[in-house]
Amino acid sequence: MAFFFANVWTMYGLVNEAMRDMVVSRQGEACWAEICGRVGVPSTEFVAMQAYPDAMTYGLVGAASEVLATPAGDLLRSFGDYWITFTAEQGYGEMMDLFGKDLLSCLRNLNGMHAHMGVMMPELRPPRFEVTEREGSGVPVVELRYYSKRPGLMPFVLGLLEGLARKFGQKAEIGHVGRASEGPDSPEIFEIRLLA
């Protein structure tokens, strides 16, 4: 899966460092060095609070997909799940807890959490989420709409939702429904069935 990225937005080094940590913990330093070599970036640690071009992060994902012989979507999904544990270990777990004590309250407060992070990270360009709740076959169902200017990150969000469910000990069926419509501003829609 190739990523074509035209804008000049940035992601914070925390994202790249999490990718590095995931690859090194599972495949070793040599594998990470090979990935970085393909992108032309140093394989050393990234500075968490420094902004890096989005193109670098997309490049790392693409190179990791090639080196690990793993589809980029599968890699991003795994990374989304890993992100929850990684950020908690980096000291952001307590902040996440402030915005929800269970999966549903956390989902309701995702925009507030990103707004809070924006105070510390002025170049942050977070996604936006809309949450709709309903009953479905006797269980609560959450429809989550994910809006982002960054293309191709739907699998990351799916993995992130799976990681959040595990963090809160919530049994859930989580699926990607699709896009609401065609067009770059159309949200990706996820359905989360909250099981007992």
Residue 80 belongs to domain with CATH number: 3.90.1520.10
Residues in the chain: 196
**185: in domain:** yes
Question: How many CB atoms sit inside 10 A of residue 7's CB?
Answer: 11
Handedness of CA 88, 92, 94, 97 (dihedral sign): negative
* pLDDT, tens digit (0-9, with 9 covering 90-100), for 106-165: 999 898 877 666 566 666 678 899 999 998 778 999 999 999 988 899 999 999 999 999
Look at residue 117 in the predicted model and tell me its pLDDT: 67
Cα–Cα dist 84/160, whole Å: 7
Which domain range does residue 147 map to? Answer: 74-194
Same domain for 42 and 119, yes or no, is no
More confident of the two residues 125 and 176: 176
Same domain for 55 and 143, yes or no, is no
**174: in domain:** yes
**168: in domain:** yes
Same domain for 107 and 56, yes or no, is no
User: Which residues on adjacent β-strands are paired with residue 158?
Assistant: none
Nearest to 64 by CA among 82, 88, 84: 82
Amino acid letter, 23: V
Question: Using CB atoms within 10 A of its CB, is residue 137 exposed (0-12), middle (13-18) or buried (19+)?
Answer: exposed
Look at residue 78 in the predicted model and tell me its pLDDT: 98
* pLDDT, tens digit (0-9, with 9 covering 90-100), for 33-60: 999 999 999 877 898 888 888 899 999 9
The percent of residues above 90 in pLDDT, for the chain, comes to: 61
Cα–Cα dist 111/93, whole Å: 16
Cα–Cα dist 76/169, whole Å: 22
Same domain for 99 and 173, yes or no, is yes
pTM: 0.87
Q: In total, how many domains does the chain have?
A: 2
Structure tokens belonging to residue 187: 């949200």
Look at residue 2 in the predicted model and tell me its pLDDT: 40
Same domain for 88 and 30, yes or no, is no
157 Rama sector, left if φ>0, alpha if ψ -120 to 50, beta otherwise: alpha
